[in-house]
């Protein structure tokens, strides 16, 4: 069994923000598989899928990004999994818009959601798929305001095919590990 967890913030207010790209990848994966999130626990909602003949738990935390480590730890415990089989999908301001980067381990890269996961799991050894959301042109802009803001129309057009590529990368990870 493998887990795929998209990080983001719950609620309609945040649904289309840069910080919720992880949620969008999960939604795209579920749509592709003809499914939805049907089960709910205290800290996350999920569904069981079969992808390439393998059981996969696809999930989104129901708590805010900066606390998402608690949800990921809860999922891993509930499904008796190891961090190494839990793919975390997350936005990244240090990557250009739409660029996708896969890593088997690493630091948080100053991402509070990943920092929360690392802290809760007590390890940096878990796979992560980072999706670039770009960075504001000026360093004077508040980064949290930027990631909690919506994409421009131009950015939405550029991002859509990248969300699909991220979905395919998740499916490939299930197949190849």
Q: What is the pLDDT of residue 142?
A: 81
pLDDT in tens, 99-137: 999 999 999 998 999 999 999 999 999 999 999 999 887
| Residue 52 CB contacts under 8 Å (≥ 6 apart), including other chains | 171, 174, 175
Q: Of 91-105, 142-156, 158-172, which gets the smallest average pLDDT?
A: 142-156
In terms of residue numbers, what domain contains 59?
2-176
pLDDT in tens, 9-53: 999 999 999 999 999 999 999 999 999 999 999 999 999 999 989
Quick check: helix, strand or coil at residue 77? helix
Q: What is the pLDDT of residue 141?
A: 63
Select which of 2, 19, 128, 167 is catalytic.
19
Q: What is the pLDDT of residue 35?
A: 94
Q: What is the pLDDT of residue 144?
A: 87
Domain holding 161: CATH number?
3.40.50.1470
Is residue 19 among the annotated active site residues?
yes
CB atoms within 10 A of CB 168: 14
- How many helical (H) and strand (E) elements, i.e. helices and strands, does the chain have? 5, 7
Tally of domains in the chain: 1
Q: List helix spans (H) across the chain.
A: 21-32, 68-78, 112-121, 143-147, 153-176
Q: What is the pLDDT of residue 140?
A: 58
Q: What is the pLDDT of residue 139?
A: 59
pLDDT in tens, 51-109: 989 999 999 999 999 999 999 999 999 999 999 999 999 999 999 999 999 999 999 99
Q: Distance between CA atoms of 81 and 2, rounded to whole angstroms? A: 8
Q: What is the pLDDT of residue 30?
A: 98
Q: What is the pLDDT of residue 137?
A: 76
Q: Distance between CA atoms of 141 and 43, rounded to whole angstroms? A: 32
User: pLDDT tier at 8 (50, 70, 90 boundaries)?
Assistant: very high
């Amino acid at each position: 069994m493998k887990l795929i967890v998209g990080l983001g913030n719950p609620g309609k207010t945040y649904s289309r923000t840069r910080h919720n790209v992880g949620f969008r990848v999960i939604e795209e994966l579920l749509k592709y598989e003809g499914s939805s999130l049907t089960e709910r626990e205290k800290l996350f909602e999920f569904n069981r899928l079969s992808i390439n003949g393998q059981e996969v738990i696809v999930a989104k935390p129901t708590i805010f990004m900066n606390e998402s480590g608690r949800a990921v730890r809860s999922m891993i415990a509930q499904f008796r999994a190891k961090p190494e089989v839990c793919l975390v999908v997350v936005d990244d301001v240090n990557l250009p818009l739409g660029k996708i980067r896969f890593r088997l381990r690493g630091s948080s890269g100053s991402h509070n959601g990943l920092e929360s996961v690392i802290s809760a799991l007590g390890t940096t050894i878990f796979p992560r798929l980072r999706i670039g959301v770009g960075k504001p042109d000026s360093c004077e802009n508040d980064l949290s305001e930027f990631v909690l803001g919506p994409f421009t129309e131009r950015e939405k057009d550029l991002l859509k095919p990248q969300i699909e590529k991220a979905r395919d990368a998740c499916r490939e990870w299930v197949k190849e590990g």
